[in-house]
Amino acid sequence: MNQRLQAFQQWLQEQHISFAIITSTPNVFYLSGFYSDPHERLLALVVFPNEEPILVCPQMEAGQAKRSGWHYSLIGYSDIENPWELISEHVTKRQPAADRIAVEKTHLSLERYEQLCTYFSARSTINAEEKLRELRMMKDEQEVSILRQAAALADLGVEVGVKAIAEGKTELEIIAAIEYELKKQGVREMSFATMVLTGQKTADPHGTPGLAAIQKGDFVLFDLGVVLDGYCSDITRTVVFGKPSDEQKRIYETVLKAQLAAIAASKPGAAAGTVDQAARQIIEQAGYGSYFTHRVGHGLGIEIHEYPSMNATNAMALEQGMVFTIEPGIYVPSIGGVRIEDDVLITNDGVEILTSYPKELITL
């Protein structure tokens, strides 16, 4: 059995859990290697403390599950079968008395929970999400290798976007140019809606791109990433179209200094919160403290937001194998915003920076 399943089984043993039924696409993918989103149909991985797991999917996906490397039990159900009934039959053989069942509480719907209660009379349901977040936080070599490639494609996205900047071009046109090139490179999916913002819109960390045209003197902010083999990348760069004002330069240099300080603070043993604090201190000293309105970063992997959360109060010690973003920003409503973001991997003595697009202020 793979190491991920073994580690999860060990937790089930420690917690005296009868079995876990995992139904979210990311967690099933993490534990089984099978990536599938059958929408309203059920996808489930049943994991026991001491038995082989069972994968449950629509019959039409069973072949694909096997081709993806799944060689334990597999229940493929047709549209006229109730998968819960099939699960119940199989599980009862292995685990006749289910007392404690682990599920993903923020993912499992009430409708599915009611099915679970119909077929199993467990005394309690335990949330498996925290444990799975912990396991997924530590990336192995295979995952790091994919994350490096995903980061390189994010670099390419920014490169194409910067080249596409021209007076009068709209935010959506630049996004179109970026995604056109990435699709040509074989990218099927972005890790979130690509963001290109110009002018004062850059002051909104959650701004929506539109038909605003680039004008001389504008900040142009890129925030994008790709999904590669199930893993996400995430990069932000900000450039100036035309000649930057003194204040634009001051904001940019402050963010860059803060971002480099946060990278320098990232190493095994350091508390996650100290990374945020390192960036925040520099931004506060420069007088922009109230304009840095979000945490310095987030873990990255199968999902775009994972553990560790890189907020100022997180006391968790960083460890080799963690991957997260470092993305301080300053957002001044009347002027605009700057954010600089890299993806980093904690190594045995510091960090490897996965994204590599230049960070000196680019003026066009």
What does the binding site for its own copies look like in residue numbers (CB under 8 A)?
40, 103, 105-114, 125, 127, 170, 172-173, 175-177, 179-181, 183-184, 186-189, 193, 208-211
Nearer to its own copies, 223 or 342 (CB): 223
CB of 13 to its own copies, least distance (A): 23
Helix axes 25-32, 129-137, angle to 10 degrees: 50
Nearest to 101 by CA among 81, 118, 86: 118
SS3 351: strand
Instruction: Provide the β-strand partners of residue 54.
Output: 46, 73
CB of 223 to its own copies, least distance (A): 15
Other beta carbons within 10 Å of 189: 12
DSSP state of 338: E
Other beta carbons within 10 Å of 237: 26
CB of 44 to its own copies, least distance (A): 14
Q: Are 329 and 338 in contact (CB under 8 A)?
A: yes
Nearer to its own copies, 44 or 318 (CB): 44
Per residue, what are the HEC states of 34-91? CCCCCCCCCCEEEECCCCCCEEEEEHHHHHHHHHCCCCCEEEEECCCCCHHHHHHHHH
CB of 213 to its own copies, least distance (A): 12
CB of 361 to its own copies, least distance (A): 28
Nearer to its own copies, 47 or 101 (CB): 101
CB of 177 to its own copies, least distance (A): 7
